A and B are shown apart, each in its own frame.
Chain A
């Protein structure tokens, strides 16, 4: 499992980073657009507690990113990944 360390937005993670999602969405403040993004992330399996690993990055601006989410693979842009907060596992933070 590793020792928990840094907590960062998933959008700032680099290839190889592994961790656990601690927050999806955040305060939506009644913003329908953000609330919808939160629901869609949840529907694709990005839920608090899910194990994630950043598998691949795109060529330009390291965007989009391919993630392992529990036992499936999902691609998303860093822009959307900013709505996900992850706690990185220690060994990957080296």
Chain B
């Protein structure tokens, strides 16, 4: 294609924490497309901007890295795009190396590596205002001359230097022929890295004068937040506040979502004639998608905390504080963030496991993430607890129902630790991967960028709900609607449907753990998404509108099930991998059916075992 016609392509490359994404947002504003790279699940963030000449400029935000010698899937994408090796991805015309002006040493080494690639490059010296405030002097002209790379100073959060950067990129792109660059990059060995460090050190000495007023704030804050005891206490307090927020602040919003969807269902129901189409739209689509949409407020609040703590620079500290505690179970300190996200929903948690550069640790994290009590379990837990656990105070202060809820959360966490310990012993034979990470300087999060990231998360969640969950809900609706009950049938329609048949067929398998056939029928649609089982139980026991009339359903269940059965059902729900969307994401993230299968088998195995033990223990204690 003619260079003059197609959009010029620029790719942002830099160390983690260099403000690369902030610069990307400043460059592209809201004109961003977020997708995945073909074949891998690394997020591809591209933005189109109209350049000075009216020509379109495409900007790609590549994952942060310290070297092109990639170790994680993210870093491999950066390497392959820069080298023009990634299938289906055109090589960039211009590389924009993004550097934190206050932390140049490591990025200089990366720039030396990038220069070998032989593509036109511009260095965006970001956070230049902070460097100036610290009295850090950089001889820009000298540095430019020595590196042979043009430099533009930027302050991404204030949009400063952005126009100059765009102009530079266009200028470089215009002068560049389309054929492959003559240069070559080879993975550096230890001695090459050492030589590059010496070169970077020489450049630092020649052109960078150390700051007159270095940042001492980060050190002072770390003195408190990384204190061996105090730091952990603060982390726990933070988690407590976070969960309080997720569960109490979200409630009004969740009620709002439910009310809106209920209203929508009624409106549509009133317009459409009674029949298959109405059933599909109201029972299948609106209530099905609604059962997922209702978690959006919780997910957004959780992500708000995660984004704030990440932008602040705290997440690396949390990983530091938790490393030894999680390391005992064979988990990486960085697994803390993905596992934390999994309390809202395992899907963003599993995707967040990409920050773990050690392959085995990443896989272990993905495999145990669904054991964290996600918000989809809450409706089920709430229902069963309301039905079987008396609402009374024990030991003078604790509410028994609350205690059981807490116990279920603890069971999830402890089993995740135990499973990762076993995974390490069985699959990795005890091998330990290194833990090392930069602790970035603390920065005040930028409100606009936080809001933007939050919006991005919401969009990704909604798109996923539409693409994965919607078709599944239609499938579940089909299974529980067809075939129709025969003329004069007395039981609920679901008894005669495919879901009912599957339930009766599977009943003998579940009889030893105390489940009756109605429960198994409810579990069939519940395989698609955990919380759907509540609505399905309502249908089976012919309680209309089970989601809002939990109290009615709870009293029905209390009358129909024994205590042992109720407790076994809870135990089952701690472990069972009843979320097709999660399984889909695990398959994509691990790129392996084998690991997905291992996860399904171990989780069902644990669920069955746990329910079996709980059921028989409860029967033996007189709860049968």
Contacts and interface: CB of A to CB of B under 8 A. Distances in A.
B619 interface: no
Interface in B155-202: 188-190, 193-194, 197, 201
A44 B438 contact: yes
A59 B105 CA distance: 31
A92 B440 CA distance: 25
A56 B320 CA distance: 10
B190 A35 contact: yes
Given A42-B197, A43-B67, A64-B435, A71 B103 contact: yes
Contact of B218 (A47, A64, A73, A75): A73
Interface stretch (B222-230, B280-288, B448-456): B222-230
A8 interface: no
Given A40-B71, A59-B324, A64-B323, 19 more contacts: A39-B189, A39-B190, A39-B193, A40-B436, A43-B109, A45-B106, A55-B219, A56-B226, A58-B321, A64-B333, A71-B102, A71-B103, A71-B105, A71-B214, A73-B222, A75-B333, A75-B438, A75-B439, A76-B435
Contact of A66 (B210, B214, B439, B440): B439
A72 interface: yes
Interface string A70-94: 1111111101100000000000000
B226 A44 contact: no
A44 B436 contact: yes
**How big is chain B's contact interface, by range?**
35 or more
Which of B210, B323, B440 is packed against the most chain A CB atoms within 10 Å?
A: B323
B319 interface: yes
Nearest to B436: A76
Contact of A72 (B103, B190, B227, B321): B103
B438 A73 contact: yes
B226 to A, nearest CB: 4
Given A42-B197, A64-B333, A74 B323 contact: no
Interface string B327-338: 100000100000
Contacts, number: 113
A74 B325 contact: no
Contact of A60 (B69, B325, B432): B325
A56 B222 contact: yes
Interface residues of A, number: 35
B356 interface: no
Contacts of A45: 105-106, 197
B421 interface: no
23 contacts: A25-B190, A39-B188, A39-B189, A42-B190, A43-B193, A49-B201, A55-B222, A56-B226, A56-B320, A58-B321, A58-B324, A64-B333, A66-B222, A66-B320, A70-B105, A72-B105, A73-B441, A75-B320, A75-B323, A77-B323, A77-B327, A77-B434, A80-B434
A35 B190 CA distance: 8
Interface of A: 24-25, 35, 37-45, 47-49, 55-61, 63-64, 66, 70-77, 79-80
Q: Chain A contact residues: over half helix, strand or loop, or mixed? A: mixed
A47 B319 CA distance: 24
Contact of B319 (A35, A48, A75): A75
Interface in B64-79: 66-67, 69, 71
Contacts of A61: 324
Contacts of A44: 66, 106, 436, 438
Contacts of A43: 66-67, 69, 106, 109, 193
Contacts of B345: none
Nearest to A25: B190
A58 B228 contact: yes
B422 interface: no
Contacts of B218: 73
